[in-house]
Amino acid sequence: MKTFFYPIFPSDFMKFRLLLVLLLLPLFWIGISNSHDWGDDYAQYLLQSKNLIENRPQTNSDLVFAEGQLPYAIIAYPVGFPALLAPVYSTFKLFIPPYLYLQTLILILSAVLLFDYLKRSFDIKLSLLIAIFYAYNIISQILKMEILSEFPFTLILLLIVLSLGSKDKRAFLFAGILSGFLMSFRVSGLVILPAVFGWILFMQKEIPIQKRLLNFGVFSSLAIAVFIILNCILFDIDIRNFVQFYAGQFEANRMRVPSNFVGFFEKIAAAFIPTFTSVIITILFLILTITGFYKKFKEKEVAEWFFICYLLLVVLYPYSSSGLRFIYPVLPFILIYFVKGFQTFYHLLSSKDRSFSILTIIFSVSIILSYKVLNSLPPADGPYANDARAMLNFIRDETPADAIVLFSRARAINLYSERRSTFLIQHKNEQENLANLRALSCDYVLYPDERSGAFNQSLQDFLMINKSEFDTIYKENRYLLLKMKAVNHP
């Protein structure tokens, strides 16, 4: 008997799905450790998970901001990922491996969904090959060692693409609801709306225009309604803060488009042949990918419209250095374009179809090189390093409960030391920031030196100018805890 999900997941290929899952089980043993880098985003997610468990507002934050100044961080992210992490936090708190096991499970499920999507364009063996490479490539493995919302985001995206491609009315409505969850994991999921609009308007011309507009109206209404219910009604994340923060970032970081565009393809090319990245390889990869995109676009799938909209977002976004994370949600589609482009040029040069064998060799070499790179990486430098842990324990045990600590990773120190935190205002000079800290009654500064992953040049410059205003009260290898001297009034 056919179920609701049959149009999305036909049962004909169940044995191949199970085979894929078995081949991906080793992922549970790769890259799992009780460590994490100094990234601030994951700390924010865990703080919001903690708020959910303790029945506090999502915006209940111990981040301290200067009145009237642009925020240096977002008060609350959309509630989707914190809600997913909340059961894990409830049981394991700040013990990292369970979070990484959860992400590994999500990665495997994403690979299975990708396999189902690939079968629409390739044969079974090539679909399995691409799905396996997606899970084992160096980008997936490096990112899998961190707590990132990109993994569930990609899983939901693939489910949306499969649902919209099934031509089933119920699946179409299901995709609209899923899109609300997509935006609730990452706000960048908003690009699903213009993507679906373009796909419906230009790829379904056999349907009357009024019907097409009605379909998009239903889809977008479902998506927006789910997002509002989750992030404004059930859990308020303060949308105004979101808009204000990103507006400030775009204003302060203009003209990044060329570097972001080049960086996008450089990082993806590096996923195919790690350690051998060059301009020639990047150009070759770009040619194959564009060719494959053109071939795939003619299949009239919604994925290509999402890729266009998402690529525009990535190249316009002001943080080019975070490319790996931002690229990841469209990595499955880029793999498809690469393979299609490769097949196109191979068939032009040869009448014998050995493209599968050659791709198997390329992907196998890439995976082997990836694990050579992974094995050479040092342990994550973050709050679980011995000196950092000792410093955080000292702050938690020896400073007043109402203390405010300035640190380059404000949300991380808030999570691990249970103290309120703040950071410098980037467009203010050293003297203005000092006056601002006094106004905030921020008495403590945690300085990580150049050997730490939390090192920040602005903080070092601030302390060099204002070193006479602070006393060192504790030192632990790479970390100094400073206390601001009291002001002597005449």
Give the pLDDT band of residue 168 (cuts 50, 70, 90).
confident
pLDDT of residue 67: 67
pLDDT of residue 115: 97
pLDDT of residue 488: 57
Above 80 in pLDDT, residue 186? yes
Q: Kindly report each contact of residues 157-160 with a partner whose C-beta sits within 8 Å and lies 24 or more positions away, as own/partner.
A: 157/182, 157/189, 157/192, 157/306, 157/329, 158/110, 158/113, 158/114, 158/117, 158/332, 159/8, 159/113, 160/192, 160/302
pLDDT of residue 128: 96
Above 70 in pLDDT, residue 395? yes
Above 80 in pLDDT, residue 426? no
Q: Any idea where the domains of the chain sit in the sequence?
A: 97-146+149-376, 386-484
Mean pLDDT within 172-192: 96
First to last CA, the chain: 87
Residues 6+ apart with CB under 8 A from 191: 306, 309, 310, 312, 313
pLDDT of residue 353: 76
Q: Which helix (H) or strand (E) holds 483?
A: strand 479-484
Q: Is the dihedral of CA 311, 317, 321, 326 positive or negative?
A: negative
Q: Which residues pair with 406 in a beta bridge?
A: 422, 445
Counting every residue, how long is the chain? 490
pLDDT tens digits along 219-251: 999 999 999 999 999 998 888 777 776 666 665
Mean pLDDT within 169-173: 93
Mean pLDDT within 192-218: 95
Mean pLDDT within 171-182: 97
Give the pLDDT band of residue 1 (cuts 50, 70, 90).
very low
Q: Residue 156: which of 110, 193, 116 has the closest Cα?
A: 110
